[in-house]
Amino acid sequence: MDAGLSVELVHRLSHLDLDVRLDVGRETLALVGPSGAGKSTLLHAVAGLVRPLRGRVSNGDRVLLDTARGLDLSPEARRVGLVYQHGALFPFMTVAGNVAYGVRGDRRARIRRTRQILDRFGIAYLAGASPARLSGGERQRVALARALASDPEVLLLDEPLSALDAVTKAEVAAELDLRLREFGLPTILVSHDFTDVLGLAGRVAVLQQGRIVQTGTPSDLVEAPASAFVASLAGVNYFSGTAARHGDLTEVRADGWTRALVSTDEMLGPVGVVVYPWEVSLAARVPEGSALNAVAGSVRRVSRMGNRARVSIEALPAIVAEVTEESVRSLGLAPGAAVVASWKATATRLVPAAPRASSDR
């Protein structure tokens, strides 16, 4: 990709080695991984706030960093905008002062541009307010406006949604989506929560222990996670097993399972098994039907999300089901309750087995 951001970094941190290659066109790439995976360090290295051991960062024809050639542009020369998780607004300036801070040009041009940005982001009514008095959503909006007011050529967002409550999160995400489309910059959005980036990012790169283990569209990751780790981030069930043909169906077995899982996919040998939580039904006893997979166990945890609930079931293999609030009530699902999880053979998706990554836990 010659237009867009290209990042190659090797860096040593106290707890892990970061070794990453990323290409971001005029799109939003989400970088997802648990805390401590090296996400923020990567952003800081792209912004020029951290000097990596080795690496090259370029945006189009502009080279921002090339350690092999001893080239390292300072952060202020890179034109890389960075939005922090809590906004990092200057507390001793008003909202207008914050937005005006990075605007280029003479005094007249700066005032005009600042006013224009404030209007465009719908925050003109906050111009004279102090950052301390803003709500979480307002703070994020001002932080984004401030970053974009300085006309960056690349945008980095460090967990912009994770400090917000659910309602505010949805509002800010909608606004963010609008702005990212409008400005069309190569953008890296860092998040520890896969669901936060759905709808915002066209592609997702999963960072685990300093390395990118899978890159793809959000649905790629849900449909064919490359590892149990990616699957757990994407919120789907993932098992490793060995597949064998059995008539028209495929049977997958693994050590410790009470019985084989049945799939309509055709595959042999070591495989990954993906089962979507929303395709798993729960019942008090084993339901009728021939091609059904059924696993008996006990409820470990019930977490509600709106009118749906995710139910974690202690069984072999352990499985997560997503059911309606009504099923939770009618089946009396509470920690410890006995339950049978079942799903169709067509809902048992087989994907190539994950290569045994050394960092896989």
Partner 1 sequence: MQRSDRVAAFGAAAATAILMGFVVLPILAIFVRVPPSALFAQLRSHVALAALGVSLRSTIVALALIVVFGTPAAYVLATKRFRGAGVLTVLLELPLVLPPAVAGIGLFAAFGRFGLLGGTLRAFGIQIPFSQAAVVMALTFVAMPFYTRQAVAAFVAMDHELLGASRTLGKGGAATFFRVAVPLARQGLSAGAALAWARALGEFGATILFAGSFSGRTQTLPLAIYAQFSGGNVDGALAMSGLLVLVSAGLLVGVRVLVRTRPEEATWTPAFPSNSSIA
Residues that bind partner 1 (CB under 8 A): 44, 47-49, 74-76, 78-82, 84, 86, 88, 90-94, 96-97, 100-102, 104, 110-111, 114-115, 118-119, 122, 124-125, 127-133, 146-147, 150, 152
User: Which residue is it, tokens 């896969």?
Assistant: 194
Residue among 92 and 352 whose Cβ is closer to partner 1: 92
What tokens appear for 268 in the block?
A: 């042999």
What are the backbone dihedrals phi and psi of residue 170, each rounded to the nearest 5 degrees, phi first? -60, -40
Residue among 98 and 250 whose Cβ is closer to partner 1: 98
Among left, alpha and beta (phi > 0; psi -120 to 50; other), residue 96 is alpha
Report the distance separating Cα 112 and Cα 81, nearest Å: 20
Residue among 75 and 270 whose Cβ is closer to partner 1: 75
Report the distance separating Cα 305 and Cα 302, nearest Å: 10
Task: Give least dist CB 51 to partner 1, A.
Answer: 12
Task: Give least dist CB 150 to partner 1, A.
Answer: 5
Side-chain half-sphere exposure of 334, counting CA atoms within 13 A: 3
Residue among 80 and 207 whose Cβ is closer to partner 1: 80
Residue among 86 and 310 whose Cβ is closer to partner 1: 86
Task: Give least dist CB 99 to partner 1, A.
Answer: 9
**First CA to last CA distance, the chain:** 33
Task: Give least dist CB 187 to partner 1, A.
Answer: 14
Neighbours of 211 (CB within 10 A): 19
Residue among 24 and 353 whose Cβ is closer to partner 1: 24
Task: Give least dist CB 283 to partner 1, A.
Answer: 51
Task: Give least dist CB 73 to partner 1, A.
Answer: 11
User: Which residue is it, tokens 């703070």?
Assistant: 139
Report the distance separating Cα 32 and Cα 290, nearest Å: 39
